Amino acid sequence: MSQARSRLTDRLRLEPIDARHADDLLALYRDPAVAEWYGEWTRDQVEQEVARIADGWLVDGVHKWMAYDRVTGESVGRGGLSRQHVDGRERLEIGWVLHRGMWGQGYATEIGRAGLAFAFHELGAGEVVSFTEVHNHRSRAVMERLGFRYSKNITVNDQPFALYLIERADHPG
């Protein structure tokens, strides 16, 4: 694990995803509540995703973390930044996926704060975007708590998504 890319928050240990995280990522995507949003993933899909994320860390120096409780070591979920083609151009995007048992406890906001600090203070980003299905009110509320503002609806895989953005000047940290 790259110590420079790992993060500690008040309650979480955030580790750059690599092959060692495949089992935890598979368990996350097999959580029935997560599968409602992402479908239930196979081992092969997770291994491909882990390789893609690890490559992002290697090539771009940024991608998603696995999040673990600092005290118990329990897997909370995954989240953080990645470079994605969003709304017609390459952008720095932040997102999160948590085990159902971790919802409503502020973990997504904690991951989001760590990602925004990384984006603005270490990567020098001018803006960060986040998007979710228009009916995902929980994620939209997290985005708003983090200081994102709604930009517009976009289409992803023929589905309506809400696009949010935050600029460095609007980030309180």
Question: What's the Cα-to-Cα distance from 154 to each of 82, 89, 106, 162, rounded to whole Å?
Answer: 18, 13, 27, 6
pLDDT reading at 116 higher than 60: yes
Q: What average pLDDT does range 139-162 have in this prediction?
A: 96
Residue in 132, 102, 149, 172 with CA at minimum distance from that of residue 37:
132
Determine the Cα–Cα distance for residues 111 and 172; give it in Å rounded to an integer: 16
Question: What's the Cα-to-Cα distance from 39 to each of 29, 34, 173, rounded to whole Å?
Answer: 8, 8, 35
Determine the Cα–Cα distance for residues 63 and 154; give it in Å rounded to an integer: 22
Strand 75-86, strand 12-16: pairing? unpaired
The yes or no reply on domain 7-170 and CATH 3.40.630.30 is yes
Q: What average pLDDT does range 27-48 have in this prediction?
A: 92
| DSSP 3-state percent helix, strand, coil across the chain (nearest 5) | 40, 35, 25
Question: What pTM does this model have?
Answer: 0.93
Confidence bin at 15 (pLDDT 50/70/90): very high
Report pLDDT for 173: 65
